[in-house]
Structure 1
Amino acid sequence: MSLVDTHLHFDAPEFAADTAQRWARAQAAGVVHAIVPAVSCSTFDRAIAVADQFGLDVALGLHPLYLDRHEDEHLAVLENYLSQGKAIAVGECGLDFYVPGLDPARQEALLLAQLKLARRFDLPVILHVRRSQDRVLKCLRQVRVRGGLVHAFNGSVQQAEAFIDLGFCLGFGGAMTYQGSQRIRRLAATLPLSALVLETDGPDMAPEWAQGQPNDPENLPRIAAVLAELRGLPLDAVAHATYQNVCRVVPALCLGR
């Protein structure tokens, strides 16, 4: 079984004391690779260092939740890192219309600028889409990119189909493990398997069995097992399909593997 954690903030402080032990346990459980998405210029170097240490891949972006950290010149910093081949994707970037106090217009301008960088460097995008699916889709139609990953998808079937048509796969993780998350579980069970990828969002979005704890990459096989159960498929089939899906939309991840 070969699983890829498509969204692991392994540079987070919660993992700093025992990163090596956590990754060793994840590998023993069947996790073969992960994408570490940075969220601001101040985290780029740390994310790259952690990814390099464990043979992982990094994505670089300016996250909407950290809008107060981002300066206009940070786009030039991001462009410089991308020009050096430091990342396999642009992100985590996107729009967040759930948290109050985040200027929607500035968020959208920042997203559009990052989409233009992704298009320039022909890179996929890792999207944060929180109560903003339609607006993000509008941005994607305005600035076409090669596709990528929609982190923690929580939209409608119609929105899912729109993202898929634009070349994106949809991430499912801890939220899917809760019995009460009926809509997310229904999406995970019924959307095309060819459009799904797995993620932890560690240390955030812990699954049902790890509430109150940092979400560890070791949880990914159990998350995969939930998806397999929801779809009535063997775990190996889900692992194989989701691995092939991430290789398709983030091809640099699987080159040489």
Structure 2
Amino acid sequence: MKIFDSHAHYDDPKFEADQFRLLDTLAANDYMIVNIGADISTSRRCIELADKYDNIYATVGVHPHDINNMTDDDLDILRQLAQHPKVVAIGEIGLDYHYENTIRQKQKQYFIKQIHLAQELNLPIVIHSRDADLDTFNIIKQENIKNAVVHCFSGSLELAQEYIKMGLYIGIGGTLTFKNAKKTVKVVEGIPIENILIETDAPYLSPEPYRGKRNDSQHLVQVIDKISELKHVDAHTVASITYGNALKFYRI
């Protein structure tokens, strides 16, 4: 069963002890991976990993948690990094109001500026939105975004359906398997599988029964099995369709 992990962070320090051993295993078992940038330094590391592994691609972008010190000079750096042939999107970018450690107005400002960069470069966008559904939706609508995924989607079915009308994808990961995941279950039941990308957000958000432990792409089997149960299709079909969705979205 070929599996596409559409959103991971294998440059994270939690993988320091066994990073290359794990990535060698994933490569040998036909996992495709997009490693996601969160600031300038991680974006560079994503490209380094993509250079080392045929099955890994990269994104570049600055996460809302890292916006406070961002300047327009960083946009120029991202523009340069995005020229690399294995950079397939701008991200993850967006809004996060869960922790009040980043100025909201500056988050919006640089979310929009990075959207403009993606549009300038004709690249897809990986969107992070936490406790910011209305502002995220309004910016996506205002900027006429057509090619994006809302990663680790935590909104309502109605919101997911609005995004799908715009042509966006919905990122689904380990939280789908949590006992309190009623809202996400409803989303998966209510949207077409053709609009779903599966993801780990590794090393975070491990599915049951690994919740609380380090996540990696091998745990996507649990996510696939849960989608299979909810959609009443076999696991191989879920893996195949979501694999194709990721190839199409990232233009690989």
RMSD: 1.7
Q: Which residue is 2:230 aligned to?
A: 230
Q: Which residue is 2:216 aligned to?
A: 216
Q: Which residue is 2:44 aligned to?
A: 45
- Give the C-alpha shift of residue 248 in structure 1: 2.2
Structure 2 counterpart SS, 1:224: helix
Are positions 1:32 and 2:22 aligned together? no
Q: Which residue is 2:153 aligned to?
A: 153
**Per-residue CA shift, 1:16-72, capped at 9, x if unaligned?**
2212322344456x5520100111012222111112222210000010012234233
Once the two structures are overlaid, the 10-residue window that deviates more, 66-75 or 202-211, is 66-75
Q: Which residue is 2:243 aligned to?
A: 243
User: Which structure 2 residues correspond to residues 70-81 of structure 1 after superposition, within 5 A?
Assistant: 70-81=70-81
Using the alignment, how far apart are the partners of 2:231 and 2:26 within structure 1? Answer: 24
Structure 1 counterpart SS, 2:209: helix
Using the alignment, how far apart are the partners of 1:101 and 1:230 within structure 2? Answer: 37
- What are the ranges of 5 or more consecutive residues in structure 1 without an aligned counterpart? none
Once the two structures are overlaid, the 10-residue window that deviates more, 99-108 or 139-148, is 139-148
Q: Which runs of 4+ in 1 moved over 6 A?
A: none
- Give the C-alpha shift of residue 166 in structure 1: 2.1
Using the alignment, how far apart are the partners of 1:51 and 1:210 within structure 2? Answer: 27
Kept in 1: contact 2:207–2:222 (CA 8 A): no
Are positions 1:21 and 2:6 aligned together? no
Kept in 1: contact 2:155–2:183 (CA 8 A): no
Once the two structures are overlaid, the 10-residue window that deviates more, 43-52 or 53-62, is 43-52
- What are the ranges of 5 or more consecutive residues in structure 2 without an aligned counterpart? none
Kept in 1: contact 2:157–2:183 (CA 8 A): no
Kept in 1: contact 2:188–2:227 (CA 8 A): yes
Q: Which residue is 1:205 aligned to?
A: 205
Structure 1 counterpart SS, 2:153: coil
Residue type at the aligned position of 1:72: D
User: Which structure 2 residues correspond to residues 84-123 of structure 1 after superposition, within 5 A?
Assistant: 84-85=84-85, 87-123=87-123
Structure 2 counterpart SS, 1:208: coil
- Give the C-alpha shift of residue 84 in structure 1: 4.6
Using the alignment, how far apart are the partners of 1:68 and 1:188 within structure 2? Answer: 34
Residue type at the aligned position of 1:152: C
- Give the C-alpha shift of residue 230 in structure 1: 1.9
Kept in 1: contact 2:27–2:53 (CA 8 A): no
- Percent identity over the alignment? 27
Using the alignment, how far apart are the partners of 2:100 and 2:30 within structure 1? Answer: 36
- Give the C-alpha shift of residue 85 in structure 1: 4.3
Using the alignment, how far apart are the partners of 1:16 and 1:52 within structure 2? Answer: 18
- The normalised TM-score by structure 2 is 0.93
Using the alignment, how far apart are the partners of 1:69 and 1:6 within structure 2? Answer: 28
Using the alignment, how far apart are the partners of 2:105 and 2:17 within structure 1? Answer: 38
Once the two structures are overlaid, the 10-residue window that deviates more, 216-225 or 142-151, is 142-151
Q: Which residue is 1:187 aligned to?
A: 187
**Per-residue CA shift, 1:155-187, capped at 9, x if unaligned?**
112211221122211111110111221111121
Q: Is the alpha carbon distance of 1:163 and 1:33 closer, same or farther for their aligned partners in structure 2, counting shifts above 3 Å?
A: same
Using the alignment, how far apart are the partners of 1:22 and 1:85 within structure 2? Answer: 24
Residue type at the aligned position of 1:249: F
Structure 1 counterpart SS, 2:82: helix
Structure 1 counterpart SS, 2:7: coil
Kept in 2: contact 1:31–1:217 (CA 8 A): no
- The normalised TM-score by structure 1 is 0.91
Using the alignment, how far apart are the partners of 1:63 and 1:175 within structure 2? Answer: 20
Using the alignment, how far apart are the partners of 1:60 and 1:199 within structure 2? Answer: 17
- Give the C-alpha shift of residue 201 in structure 1: 0.3
